[in-house]
Structure 1
Amino acid sequence: MGSRTRGMCVVLGLAVVAGTLPVLAIEGLLRGTEVMNGSARGTALVMLLVALPVLFAGMRAAERSVRGHAVAIGALAYLTYNAMLLVYATPFNVLFLVSVATLGLAFWTLVSALLDPLPLFEPGPDMPVRMIAGFMLVVVTLNALAWVGAVVPDLGEHPPAFLEGTGLTTNPIYVQDLAFWLPALAVVAVLLWRRTPAGGFLAGAGLVFWLLEAIGVAVDQVLGHAADPTSPVATLAGAWMFVVLAAVTVVPLLAWVRAAPAARTARDGSAVPRWRA
């Protein structure tokens, strides 16, 4: 990762600390429903104690490691995704500008990281390309069907049933998943299936993102349920589902890690190209 991106990561880290510690430490700061406040605390907890250390560990390793570079980009994607939720799924409060700054920094740091020279590599014969790409396409498809299946029956309804108990006017998870993240990961899966260098590298980053997200949702389901055990918005069954999803995601991620080149050079020892889709 370039010096510009590393510097932006440090500033982003400060913003994440400033935006999540008060959520965790100050009672009454959040103004949503109890279940959503609990979920927000879960999101803040994972951003601070899991995603941020993963980002800095990946950033530290990125100069010499393809895997480290992928981990850092996956962590940046996770922070961008969840900073969006702190802005749009949390009622206006005193941390609004901090949350907006975190979202802006996370997004532009991710852009900066993707503009840096990337250690792309052609997947070798030891990488189970079809297993990894197939897993990604299955998750994208099932996720999209789940969201569309929740939305379509309530088109024209006010308020829609899927917003009951959230206090929200729309669901920012559905918006960003269907508009950005699921299409992006579907493209990455297709590029991997075709054994392109871009797919070889970005599949690892996508799997890291998904693993962090599964962990994050499991934690926010637990804390949301603890805040309001009567709400269907956050349940222990939902938490266990994402624990299982996290465990399943580890399988293709480990397969990618084992087959990806450890150092930032191609398998023949030559310099890795910046971009060859």
Structure 2
Amino acid sequence: MPQDHVQVSSGRLPRIWTWLSASAGVLAFTGSVLGILQPAAIYGRETDLLFNAALAQDVVNGLLVSPLLVILAFLARRGSMGSWLSLAGCLGFTAYNYSIYAFSIQFGPLFLVWTAVLGLSVFALAGTLASVVPEAAHLVGRTATGLTGWVLIVTSALFTLLWLNEIFGDLLTGAPSRSASSWNVPTSPVHVLDLAFFLPAVFTSGVLLIRGHVWGHATAVGSLVFLGLTTLPILVTPIISYLRESPAGWGMMMPIGALSIALCVVFIRQLRSTRRQPRSPSMEPVPVHG
């Protein structure tokens, strides 16, 4: 067989995607810390709802997601399949949120930081997914599929219906978008990103997983991570609002909290099934440098 057709694998995240992911994490951590320490200087021109949401996002980014980007990237570089698959979800979450920062927060001192994190996370996500797919081939036929796949499909479908209900309600009454008006932006970036990119991606991941496609196995863990992380700022925002003496909106805590726990349980189950089976010496990949 010609050498061009031999699939060579190192079993590790390539070095370039490791450093892009870690760099995104370090920059995101820096921006989040500055946002937490100086919220008035960063978000002072935003509406109360956007101010509170952005500050909640900084808390989640600074305390959890940014450190995870660095840790998971280097664990994946050392050959941890679970870290590699989870890293894609953290990168997707980072790209998602920094799109909102870059396009919806008024121009200010962290604009270049947000733009850099957005670019780094998008390129790192593309590279991480492209490089993990060949590595995920050994998962086909032996990892959990049914429950995880249906959780991804149902969750993405429910959020799609929720957003469409709000959008069609506003369109039929001729009113401005309620979500956009509450943030004083032209259109809701959450609706745009969810409906155009992320919810279809999660839905497709679930379908492909149930069908046993390698892309389903390569993206299912990351999709669960992405969905789970998106619940956290929703849970933190009422606390921030309460501390700032704004309307807290505690009503979302129960359903979103239940969803967060359910996603965590399914994530742990799916992650356990991704542990590599020992390979025979004849099946070991040829080592290469990432």
TM over 0.5: yes
Partner of 2:8: none
Q: Which residue of 2 aligns with 1:240?
A: 254
Of residues 165, 170, 174, the one that matches 2:187 is 170
Larger CA deviation: 101-110 vs 112-121: 112-121
Identity rate of aligned residues, in percent?
Answer: 22
Note closer, same or farther for the CA distance 1:14–1:137 as it changes in structure 2 (3 Å cut): same
Where in structure 2 are the equivalents of 1:44-59 lying within 5 Å? 44-59=58-73
Cα separation, 2, equivalents of 1:96 and 1:46: 19
Gaps of 5+ in 1: none
Q: Residue 107 of structure 2: SS of its match in structure 1?
A: coil
Query: In structure 1, how many angstroms separate the alpha carbons of the residues matched to 2:256 and 2:281?
Result: 39
2:197 corresponds in structure 1 to 180
- Which deviations, in whole Å up to 9, do the C-alpha atoms of 1:154-200 show, x marking residues without a partner? 12734233334322221000000000001111111111001122211
Q: Which one of the candidate residues 224, 227, 231 is aligned to 2:244?
A: 227
Query: 163, 173, 177: which is aligned to 1:160?
Result: 177
Is it true that 1:92 corresponds to 2:107 in the alignment? Answer: yes
1:42 is aligned to 56
Query: How far apart are 1:226 and its partner, in Å?
Result: 3.6
TM-fit CA distance, 1:35: 2.5
Name the stretch that deviates more: 192-201 or 144-153.
192-201
Q: Which amino acid aligns with 2:171?
A: L
What's the CA shift string for 1:58-77, capped at 9, x where partnerless?
22221322111011111111
Q: Deviations over 1:80-115 (max 9, x none)?
A: 111112123322222222212221111112112223
Q: Which amino acid aligns with 1:80?
A: A
8 Å Cα contact 2:17-2:124 kept in structure 1? yes
- Cα offset, 1:261, TM superposition: 2.4
Aligned equivalents of 1:218, 1:269: Cα separation in 2? 49
1:31-57: CA deviations, max 9, x gaps? 201222121011011112101122222
Aligned length: 269
Measure how far apart 1:16 and its partner are: 0.8
| Residues 82-91 or 186-195, more deviating | 82-91
Structure number with greater Rg is 2
Distance change in 2, residues 1:250/1:266 (3 Å): farther
Does residue 1:192 correspond to 2:209, yes or no? yes
Q: Does 1:79 align with 2:91?
A: no
- Return 31-40 or 163-172, whichever deviates more: 163-172
Matched residue, 2:4: none
**Structure 1 partner of 2:146:** 130
Which residue type is aligned with residue 242 of structure 1?
Answer: I
C-alpha contact (below 8 Å) 1:74/1:208 kept by paired residues: yes
Cα distance in 1 between the residues matched to 2:274 and 2:165: 36
Q: Give the structure 1 partner of residue 119 of structure 2.
A: 104
Shift of 1:266: 6.5
Give the deviation of 1:201 after TM superposition: 2.4
CA contact (8 A) 1:56 1:72 kept: no
1:65/1:262 contact within 8 Å kept: no
Q: TM-score, normalised by structure 2?
A: 0.84
The structure whose residues are more often helix, as a share, is 2
Q: Mark the CA change 1:149 to 1:270 in structure 2 (over 3 Å): closer, same or farther.
A: farther
Backbone CA RMSD of aligned residues: 2.5
